[in-house]
Amino acid sequence: TLRSSHGNTIIGAVSLLDTSGALLQTVLTDAEGNYLISEISPGNYTIKFQANNFQTLIQGVIVAANANSGIDAVLKPSPGGVI
């Protein structure tokens, strides 16, 4: 789920990158901030969360075989941004 630092859900983009930084998938969150990235091979990845007027959040993620991973993110407002 993608939320603001105030606890509000955010509609934004979630991107999955491989360890070299190549973009593999980008999905949009729904109105509740939920997203689903599917058909991922086990391994190490980078996930990037972006939304208008918020700072981008980038973090590493390890995907295990035959497992579902839930990654929640909290974005801080951009300095000078309007939310």
Question: The whole model's pTM is what?
Answer: 0.89
- The set of residues, in sequence order, having a beta carbon less than 8 Å from that of 50 and lying 6+ positions away, is 12, 13, 14, 15, 56
Residues 6+ apart with CB under 8 A from 3: 9, 10, 33, 72, 73, 74, 75
pLDDT in tens, 35-65: 999 889 999 999 999 999 999 999 999 999 8
Per-residue pLDDT tens digits for 1-47: 999 999 999 999 999 999 999 999 999 999 999 999 988 999 999 99
